[in-house]
Structure 1
Amino acid sequence: MKTIIIEDEKPSARRLTRMLSGLGKSVVATLHSVEESIEWFEQNEHPDLILLDIQLSDGLSFEIFEQVEVQSAIIFTTAYDEYALKAFKLNSIDYLLKPIDQEELEIAIEKFSNNQLKKQSLQVDLEQIRKLLVNPLEKNYKERFTVKLGQHIKMFSTDEIECFYSENKGTYVATSNNRVFLMDGTLEEVAAELDPVKFFRVSRKFYVNINAIKDIVAYTNSRLKLALHTFSEHEIIVSREKVKDFKNWIN
């Protein structure tokens, strides 16, 4: 199986190469931009599988497919928030959310090997996902969430919420009055309803509200540590793979 990686962050590309090597898969090329990728596809035999970052240094990776007809299956690697991931699931396109987990990578590769990725629907799927990524504000997002407290149901507006997080297979919401509540559903299900202008996934565990951030401090291994106005039960660390997107988000 011939595989290439298209990823503009070289440390992430090297890490993904090591992970694939650990699964016995070789990478025939690592590309870092839209322009470089177009040139490579025009000059080389197309691979069986592409591990493709959506946001590259010189544009969205969809621009590659406007120039060349790629005859390969694709597994997206993305740091985008969950508002886009629903489109991936509905269209049977596989994706890996950064930072990439070894076990999830193995499952995605096995899925590809079992021919469960549908190459023939690729162009339609890409266009639908592009629309969500380029025009995320066209979607209506939740303005309030509810939790059950015994026989009662409590409501919170998104302005009252500092963060959502997962722990021990549970999903929790932390509010601005320093309360934490257990929610129904998974973090992914909750996140699909969050406005990406207000909320960002800083790690696999945490989504934070931009208005709840009190301080941002440089942390070890090129990461960032966040302090929220009231929530202090857990450290909130922006993973290294998310730092660039996080900085773009807050700006």
Structure 2
Amino acid sequence: MTTIIIEDEKPAARLLQRKLSKLNIEVGVMLHSVEESIEWFSNNEHPDLIFLDIQLSDGLSFEIFEKMEIKSAVIFTTAYDEYALKAFKLNSIDYLLKPIDEDDLEAAISKYKTRLPKPETNLSLDFEQIRKMLSNPFEKNYKKRFTIKIGQHLKVISSDEIECIFSENKGTYIHTFDNRSYLLESTLEVLENELDPKEFYRISRKFIIPLKSVKEIVVYSNSRLKVILPSYKEDEVIVSREKVSDFKNWIR
């Protein structure tokens, strides 16, 4: 079985590759953009199976299929909410919701193997229908408040009060604009999908920051960026090198 990954975040692509390797599935190629994928498909034999992210750095991955006839089976890897996933079900496409669980990955592979398409079968996708589902007027209800336990008391913190969210010593903390930090019963991976991506961005493995807390941005070493926040001074807030380009687009 020949397999490729199309994912714009290289760390995520490498993580998926490692998980597939545990299932004895070798990934032939990892592609990271619509343009790169179209060029590769134009010059190479198409694989049996594609693990495909929806949002790539230069557009929606659907554009690849709109410009080329590709007969490969597809498993979407996506952070989209459940309402959007209905579109994939309607088109008999499997999907894995990020962060990808290894058991779910194994189940998806097993499902693919039991439903192997015939070589002459073309994967027909109703892209217009999927686009409509992704722009569903019933928008996702993003997390707006957090309940923090402090001793025998509960404190409610609004998302507007958050200066940053950070991980430290296996714990996840909210740091507020009044220069206080609170321990959360969650992880950055979970919060990344619960917070409005227009307002919050995960700049590294350690930090999620809201747009409103960005006080200053400084060019840092190794093609990275340093973000200056209003009150958080415990550690340097650095944008990972692989996230710099996407971060610049986010703050525009």
Q: Same fold (TM over 0.5)?
A: yes
1:63 partner amino acid: E
**What is the aligned-residue RMSD (CA, Å)?**
4.3
Q: Give, in whole Å, the separation in 2 of the partners of 1:181 and 1:210.
A: 20
Of the structure 1 ranges 116-125 and 40-49, higher mean CA displacement relative to structure 2 is found in 116-125
- Given the alignment of the two structures, is residue 220 of structure 1 paired with residue 215 of structure 2, yes or no? no
Mind listing any 5+ residue stretches in structure 2 that lack a counterpart?
Answer: 117-122
CA deviation map 1:134-165 (0-9, x unaligned) = 57992232332221112211122222111112
CA distance in 1, matches of 2:243, 2:182: 26
Task: Work out whether residues 165 and 172 of structure 2, in 8 Å CA contact, stay in contact via their aligned partners in 1.
Answer: yes
Q: How high is the sequence identity, in percent, across the aligned residues?
A: 50
Equivalent-residue separation in structure 2 for 1:171 and 1:125 (angstroms) = 38
Distance 1:183 1:128 in 2: 35
CA distance in 1, matches of 2:83, 2:138: 15
Q: 2: CA distance between counterparts of 1:217 and 1:86?
A: 37
Aligned to 1:156: 157
* Residue-by-residue CA offset, 1:165-208 (whole Å, 9 max, x unaligned): 22333221110011000112333333333111111011122110
Secondary structure, in 3 states, of the residue corresponding to 2:244?
A: helix
Conserved? CA contact 1:111–1:117, under 8 Å: no
Worse-superposed segment, 215-224 or 85-94: 85-94
Greater shift, 35-44 or 227-236, is seen at 35-44
* 1:136/1:207 CA distance change after superposition, 3 Å: farther
Report the counterpart of residue 247 of structure 1 in structure 2. Answer: 248
Amino acid at match of 1:115: S
CA distance in 2 between counterparts of 1:158 and 1:51 reads 33
How far off its partner does 1:47 sit?
Answer: 1.0
Structure 1 residue 27 displacement after superposition? 5.3
Shift of 1:40: 5.2
Deviation at 1:89, TM superposition (A): 8.9
Q: Does 1:182 align with 2:183?
A: yes
Q: Gaps (5+ residues) in structure 1?
A: 98-103
Distance, in Å, in 1 between the alignment partners of 2:236 and 2:109 is 40
Conserved in 2, the CA contact under 8 Å of 1:88 and 1:94? no
- Specify the structure having the higher radius of gyration (Cα): 2
**Structure 1 residue 41: deviation in Å?**
4.4
Q: Are positions 1:142 and 2:146 aligned together?
A: no
Deviation at 1:43, TM superposition (A): 6.9
The CA deviation at 1:108 is 8.4
Higher relative contact order (CA 8 A, sep 6+): 1
Give the corresponding residue for 1:111. 106
Partner of 2:193: 192
Question: Would you say the 8 A contact 1:93–1:117 is kept in 2?
Answer: no
| Structure 1 CA distance for aligned equivalents of residues 182 and 225 of structure 2 | 26
Q: TM-score, normalised by structure 1?
A: 0.69
- Of residues 196-205 and 121-130 in structure 1, the stretch that sits farther from structure 2 once superposed is 121-130
The C-alpha deviation readout for 1:36-83, integer Å capped at 9, x for no partner, is 64565477543133243444454211222345354224363x7xxx6x
Q: What TM-score comes out, normalization by structure 2 length?
A: 0.69
Letter in 1 for 2:143: K
2:47 match: 47
Residue 214 of structure 1: CA displacement? 1.6
- Residue 47 of structure 1 aligns to a residue whose secondary structure is coil
3-state SS of the aligned residue for 2:149?
A: strand
- Over 3 Å counting, the alpha-carbon distance change for 1:212 and 1:130 in structure 2 is farther
The 3 A distance-change label for structure 1 pair 157 and 27 is: closer
